[in-house]
Amino acid sequence: MQLSVDGQAVYAANGGRTHAAGRPLAVLLHGAGMDHCAWALQSRWLAFHGWNVLALDLPGHGASAGAALPTVGAMSAWLIALLDAFPAADVTLIGHSMGALIALETAAAVPDRIRRLVVIGAAAAMPVHPDLLAAAKADDHAAIDMVNLWGHGFRAGLGDSPAPGLWMTGVCARILERAAPGVLHADLAACAAYEGGIAAAARVTAAALVFCGEKDQMTPLKSGRALAAALRRSTLVVAPGAGHMLLAERPDDLLAALARHLGEDATAPA
């Protein structure tokens, strides 16, 4: 579906179901260099279990217009403007990696408007290796290779996808390859510069789920634990052996944890 924020076109996937009045709203925020496609399973499940869904393409990503925003703060301000244009009484923010930082910052900025928070592959700070930043700035494919290598757990390297017929690292590479030049670097630089995570967590009043991979090399488990501890009301769930790309690596475990957090039954038919 097409939306507009500050006069610019924004694309959001609705999970395959038209929005209906009175339903809670789930806003899904992708990670660096990615787009709404990362949420294919989760967006559809939510849409068919009583939720209005906005799986967003951030500015400059996917089918959304504009340039990639330079800071997490700017992304949060953009999201608040979208919520102003698309008001809902019951809002849950769900973010992966960079999207988790945006969700965290937004839940802290407008705590009265966010009922639930889900952060996946998250940490209060997300430093980025200089080699990855340099490769992304040069639009060198090595940046995509590093994201794949450092982002996925061991099983992904064996081609062991939980979804039949899919190739975890290949799908990730294809999404990153179709991003516009400079987008991945802008996103990674925004993550590296963000320093407000712990302070933001202290201001969040929403019930929070922190979903982490045990073997995450990009946002290590110890950092996820620290974020969970800084939140007032949080549940920490750790996926054994998983890396950073949890939407692809542990889709069933993530969906079950998400359903518990939202008070839904993950086994119930749509």
Sheet containing strand 91-96, edge to edge, reads 2-5, 8-13, 52-56, 25-29, 91-96, 116-120, 207-213, 234-239
How much is the pLDDT for 6?
A: 86
How much is the pLDDT for 165?
A: 67
Cα separation, 121 vs 238, whole angstroms:
10
CATH code for the domain defined by 2-262: 3.40.50.1820
How much is the pLDDT for 27?
A: 98
> Over the stretch 167-182, which tens digit does the pLDDT of each residue have?
778 888 999 999 999 9
Domain spans of the chain, in order of start: 2-262
> Over the stretch 30-82, which tens digit does the pLDDT of each residue have?
999 999 999 999 999 999 999 999 999 999 999 999 999 999 999 999 999 99
How much is the pLDDT for 264?
A: 63
Question: Which residues in the chain come in under a pLDDT of 50?
Answer: 265-267, 269-270
